[in-house]
Amino acid sequence: MKRFQFICVFLLSIALIACGGEKKKEEEKEPIKIGTKKEAEKSDPNAITVAISGNDLMQFDKKEIRVKAGQKVTLNLRHTGKGSIDIMGHNFVLLKSGVDIAIFGLEAGNAGKPKDWIPNDGKDVIVHTKMIGGGQSTSITFDAPPAGTYDFVCSFTGHWGIMKGKFIVE
């Protein structure tokens, strides 16, 4: 008998939960005005957005980025891997012209996590993102430097040897 009562209470509970108070969602609709157009977003002709990603194989998906001198650049960096920031962290570092990548990379390794892998208080860096781990993204906006070819790297320990490319300013 107790078993029968338990089953009845259990089934009644499930029925109440299943029938419970779902509220009908009302869609918000924008009123329609006849004879008007929505204005298109005005984009800045002197701005560009660049997307670049790094993976757990220590590779950027771009080896070359081209922009115009003085152009407002928004760079979106995405880490497509799963490695944690402490083991497989990535960043984007745009180096000043003439900086030796190997020397910078060794100094970045020595700077390590306390300095976000940016050595010498950033004296050799034009701009850099923060370090991110797998599945994370970050973004920076900056004015492109004068015309020329610059190197970009990931400054995480040892990554600079593979994760690098050219930032060409026309």
pLDDT in tens, 3-30: 555 555 554 455 545 555 554 545 555 5
**Contact by Cβ (8 Å): 101, 151:** yes
Which tokens hold the place of 1? 């008998």
Mean pLDDT of 32-37: 54
Q: Does the residue 142 lie in any domain?
A: yes
> For the domain that residue 114 is a member of, what is the CATH number?
2.60.40.420
| Eight-state DSSP code of residue 92 | -
* 95 vs 134: CA distance, rounded Å: 24
**Is residue 26 a part of any domain in this protein?**
no
136 found inside a domain: yes
Whether 17 is covered by a domain: the verdict is no
| Threshold 0.85, pTM exceeds | no
The number of domains in the chain is 1
Judge whether 31 lies within some domain: no
Contact criterion met (CB below 8 Å) for 15 and 7: no
Q: Tell whether 24 is covered by a domain.
A: no
Distance of CA 14 to the CA centre of its chain: 44
Token pair in block for residue 128: 């850099």
Asked whether residue 119 is assigned to any structural domain, the reply reads yes
| Confidence (pLDDT) at 121 | 95
The residue segments making up the domain with residue 122 are 47-169
